[in-house]
Amino acid sequence: MSIDFKGRVAIVTGAGNGLGRQHALALAARGARVVVNDLGGTRDGSGASASAAQAVVREIVAAGGEAIASGASVTDFDAVQAMVAQAMDAWGRVDVLVNNAGILRDKSFAKMELDDFRLVLDVHLMGAVHCTKAVWPIMTAQKYGRVVMTTSSSGLYGNFGQANYSAAKMALVGLMKTLAIEGAKNDIRVNCLAPTAATRMTQDLLPQPVLDALDPAAVVPAMLVLAAHDAPNRTILCAGAGGFEAAHVTLTEGVWLGVCDGVPEQLAAQLAAVTARRGESVPENALAQAQAEVAKAMAHAKPA
């Protein structure tokens, strides 16, 4: 089964370098018309330049594809809306959004300035919100859309010195989970990609042999699957160095202790049973988790 994007229009943010560039090139190579978005700033979000996005557009056009450049900052909703209008004026639709733009401002939480915390949230989380909000009415009217959020193992599992980045990346998982539910009726599928790749974001954070193994191109197949016509929905797909895995937010079977005196001590004594992973599940939504709690209570209820 071939995955192609003929007739599709894709927007890729942060597409001037690294992983975003690879995403844009791959989508274009498979037939998509691509908006290459990149503010052109440094790794920490400072500065701006149109040259990076324009260079990727030239690569795509030279290979026989169609692309336009956008220097919109994903933190500026008006600029994002103008970018989406640019795509609509050029091609009349938007089918795929890959929220890839990001910055790093790493420090231990004790030393991190609140402004650095807020800016990382603004780019990663609110940037994805702005872009998704701008394309959502279009995808709803088309009754078709594919949105890929870029999460991270730092968000899923934590990483020293990345409290801001980790918070933003896990927030994207929650955003994805809800948008996937809300968009399903209009065939808007929303998923998360957790890439492990050597880019300018990681170039001085990992030893060279590791960087050599983590070619960004190895992550692209996962993005293509999540953006394709037959994409899954509400999936967290991890990818790096040729490996692919799924991450899940699960619920253990737990225990029922009721509501009475002494429950804190009972809970402390049975915490190992509560956290045991045998029989864990993935609730379909928040209501399903609540229903599981009620069902547990009802199973222990005394007959009237």
Tokens 């960004």 locate to: 216
pLDDT over 90 for what percent of the chain?
A: 86
214-229 mean pLDDT:
95
Residue 42 has pLDDT above 80, yes or no: no
Q: Which residues contact 8 (CB under 8 A, 6 or more apart)?
A: 27, 31, 32, 33, 95, 96
Please state whether the predicted TM-score (pTM) of the whole model is above 0.85. yes
How many Å apart are CA 40 and CA 45, to the nearest integer?
A: 9
Among the residue ranges 68-82, 123-137, 169-183, 212-226, the one predicted with the least confidence is 212-226
pLDDT of 205 > 80? The answer is no
CA dist 146 → 154, 221, 303 (Å): 24, 15, 49
% of the chain residues with pLDDT over 70: 93
Residue 206: pLDDT above 60? yes
Count of other CB atoms within 10 angstroms of residue 75: 17
**Contacts with 105 (C-beta within 8 Å, 6 or more apart), sequence order:** 44, 45, 112, 116, 119, 120, 164, 165
- pLDDT attached to residue 294: 92
Q: Give pLDDT tens digits for 247-261.
A: 999 999 999 999 999
pLDDT of residue 66 exceeding 90? yes
Q: In the predicted model, is pLDDT for residue 47 greater than 60?
A: no
Mean pLDDT along residues 27-47 = 84
pLDDT of residue 99 exceeding 90: yes
Output the CA–CA distances (angstroms, integers) from residue 282 to 145, 238, 253, in the order listed.
Answer: 24, 17, 11
Can you give the pLDDT at residue 41?
Answer: 64
For residue 157, indicate whether it is catalytic. no
Q: Is the pLDDT of residue 45 over 90?
A: no
User: 300: how many CB neighbours lie within 10 A of its CB?
Assistant: 9
Q: Cα angle vertex 237, ends 176, 139, to 5°?
A: 40
Spatial CB neighbours of 252, under 8 Å, sequence gap ≥ 6: 274, 275, 276, 277, 279, 280
Write down the catalytic residue from 165, 188, 189, 224: 165
Residue type, 208: Q
Residue whose tokens read 């990727």: 56
Does the pLDDT at position 203 exceed 90? no
pLDDT in tens, 125-179: 999 999 999 999 999 999 999 999 999 999 999 999 999 999 999 999 999 999 9
pLDDT of residue 284: 94
Nearest to 150 by CA among 173, 181, 184, 183: 173
- pLDDT given at position 141: 98
Instruction: Determine the Cα–Cα distance for residues 223 and 148; give it in Å rounded to an integer.
Output: 7
